[in-house]
Chain A
Amino acid sequence: MESGPTPTTPKSPPMELLMLSNALERLVARNNQLTSQYSTQAPSPSVDVKLNKKSFSLSAFMATRTPTIALRRYLERIHRFADLDPACFIVAYVYIDRTVHIHPALIVVSMNVHRLMLASLLLASKVLDDLHHNNAFFARIGGISNFELNKLELELLFLLNFRLTVTSSDFQRYYSHMETEMSRTCVIEKNLKEDDDKRWPNGGLNQVSLTNGPRRHSMSPARHSFDGPSIN
């Protein structure tokens, strides 16, 4: 799988990362709202599906409380250390989307999205990159234990029914979908005219700038410790 059209530099995250983060944030926002309609408390972690007496759930991915690190910063952190092929961000999204299509009752919410992404990016990297980092490394940059990541990896493989192939037409479809989604988000946010926006030069989308919200509060890359954020 070749990388997307956006060249990456260490400073700016690749377009694919922003597209993934945008798509997931929208998904999570929608689902958080949905689940909170049925419960006054935080999104319920016990969303299980019974299928042939075997229970499929995302409970393994659930954090005990919503991780404090914003999803986009979390992805940026993974990217900075793991130096993933940008195509991994698209493929990781395909895996998440596939999972929720295979198991429609599984709901991606803010409590499980971090772990899901970590496992999904790990799989994407194993599938795509000839040189890849091992689970121990991914676990450290993802802020969970090696043991837990191994468990999540298997969990996701079985949820996906081992359907790991992403054809180039699949890839293109998802890529353009995510790209469109993002340009739509950008237009909306632009219209909201948040004055504290930092403009972000954007290689993939002409004439559209991205908001740079979470980044304002982020530490410089150099100040990031290797031993990762707590996402419990």
Chain B
Amino acid sequence: MAVAAPGQLNLDEVPAWGSRSVDFFEKLEQIGEGTYGQVYMAKETRTGEIVALKKIRMDNEREGFPITAIREIKILKKLHHQNVIQLKEIVTSPGPEKDEQGRPADGNKYKGNIYMVFEYMDHDLTGLSDRPGMRFSIPQIKCYMRQLLTGLHYCHVNQVLHRDIKAGSNLLIDNEGNLKLADFGLARSFSGDQNANLTNRVITLWYRPPELLLGSTKYGPQVDMWSVGCIFAELLHGKPILPGKNEPEQLSKIFELCGTPDESNWPGVTKMPWYNNFKPARPMKRRIREVFKHFDHYALDLLEKMLALDPDNRICAKDALDAEYFWTDPLPCDPKSLPKYESSHEFQTKKKRQQQRQQEEAAKRQKLSHPPPHTRLPPIQQPGQPHPPVRPGLNQPMHGSQPPMAAGGPSHHYGKPRGPSGGPSRYPQGASASGGYNNPNRGGQGGSYGNAPYPSQSRGAPPYGSGGMSGTGGPRGTSSGAGGYGGSGPNYPQGGPYGASGPGRGPNNMRNQQQQQQQYGGWQ
């Protein structure tokens, strides 16, 4: 936006998007590769603010302006929430080409590139959880889950389906511990009556709910809740729980875990469009509690409700936020208390791992010993052991027996303050007026969320970590430790669960039709 000349007021100033050039930003580093273009970390030269620039790929002439970008812009313009990524503006670059008549394309927007400007986020969930030695604590997982549900609840209240919630690149985390939903390229508005015919070719396969796999075209916010359930279990389990290679296999993995659907547990399922194609050969019983017996029972209660086969029985975001899980010890921690990590994006970790793999292969050729493959560590499970008498509001997740994390690295190239991890809580008193659900203290406040101050914290005894490690929750890596569910081993050839050679984080049909490339990039 133009700055008023001295002595003048810009009274007719319209904050027109697309009115600024990308030259206002200095590109620093590529941090992602999305369906419709690269993503860069950039600095606004005037203010020094760090942002993410997502380039909109305009090279498909037949498609014109990508529909994913149209949807994303449209939806993000109306969503404003602390757990939803903020789209700040749209900028253009003039581009050197000439127009049809051969005149220089002066200010000719469509000749150049178009960028969406987002607030910068340091990590995506996969990038963060795949850091070597990284292990989330239970309060940390609760903190992320609650933010995820809060953001999603806001979307659903505003009649937006995200339709591509996945553990990886679409959940972004900053160094203040805030989690934000991103990548609304598949999102769409829905109307309450569920009459509209919606495409079922959405949501990355591993996180796709059974109703979509069975061909439903009338669905609602429950599809996102299934994905949240998968992520929840993944965070606790340490790896994706339903890594199907294709749609039939995905469904059979779901049936193995959640039991087979029939008219008694899912009325109407036999009339689903593709039910007969995928009809289970034999009935199987639900095994969630058996497979994940190392989870605490509040977590299991919630997971059971999220992974309900029948979408009508699936818990909604609002009720999930009310689940006992979030209101029993260990409570979700304050985002600000979380350790700060050096920036990590799936794009970058993948690149690093690719390099590492190349080195390994080189080493192999020289018949040297093989370094152990990377594995993600599940959290230390909390069997609900008694707590110190002082109510622990906040927990320092980095304590005692936890493996060292690459925390507190000095703020690198871009001048964001990265103080020591876990300072005293600065959780604002009575804050989060818009968030509603951000306050774990729901006792005695007449049921109103968001008004009560954060409970005073004890920085004394570390309630987790050193004492509470149970036998089942030790570092995994050799076997799933959970009764060999789902044959998890073979899905991760070499180099960890996200081998760049595979289909990425599970194929996503709608996108694959458009672009075979991609799959990574938190900022698709």
Contacts and interface: CB of A to CB of B under 8 A. Distances in A.
A54 interface: yes
Nearest to A146: B61
Determine the main DSSP class of B at the interface with A. Answer: loop
A150 B64 contact: yes
Contacts of B193: 2
B199 interface: yes
Interface string B44-68: 0000000000000000011111010
A153 B193 CA distance: 31
Contact of B62 (A136, A153, A154, A162): A136
A154 B188 CA distance: 21
A153 B199 contact: no
Contact of A102 (B13, B14, B70): B14
Contacts of B189: 1
Interface in A95-152: 102, 122-123, 126-127, 130-132, 134-136, 146-147, 149-151
A3 B449 CA distance: 38
B63 A134 contact: yes
Contacts of B17: 158, 161-162
A135 B77 CA distance: 24
Contacts, number: 89
B297 interface: no
A164 B189 CA distance: 12
Contacts of A162: 17-18, 73-74, 77, 90
A52 B8 CA distance: 13
Interface residues of A, number: 33
Given A102-B14, A134-B64, A2 B191 contact: yes
B478 interface: no
A165 interface: yes
Contacts of B61: 135-136, 146-147, 150
Contacts of B77: 162-165
Given A1-B191, A134-B63, A52 B74 contact: no
Interface string B2-29: 1000000000111011110000000000
Contacts of B19: 52, 54
A140 to B, nearest CB: 11
Contacts of B107: 54
A136 B191 CA distance: 30
B197 A135 contact: no
A53 interface: yes
A143 B71 CA distance: 26
Contacts of B90: 162
B110 interface: yes
A151 B105 CA distance: 13
B126 to A, nearest CB: 27
A82 to B, nearest CB: 14
The 10 A-B pairs at the shortest CB distance, nearest first, are namely: A135-B64, A136-B62, A164-B74, A154-B110, A130-B199, A52-B2, A150-B64, A158-B18, A126-B67, A165-B78
Given A1-B189, A51-B14, A53-B2, 17 more contacts: A1-B191, A2-B191, A51-B16, A102-B14, A122-B64, A126-B70, A127-B74, A130-B197, A136-B62, A150-B61, A154-B110, A154-B114, A158-B109, A164-B77, A165-B74, A165-B77, A168-B191
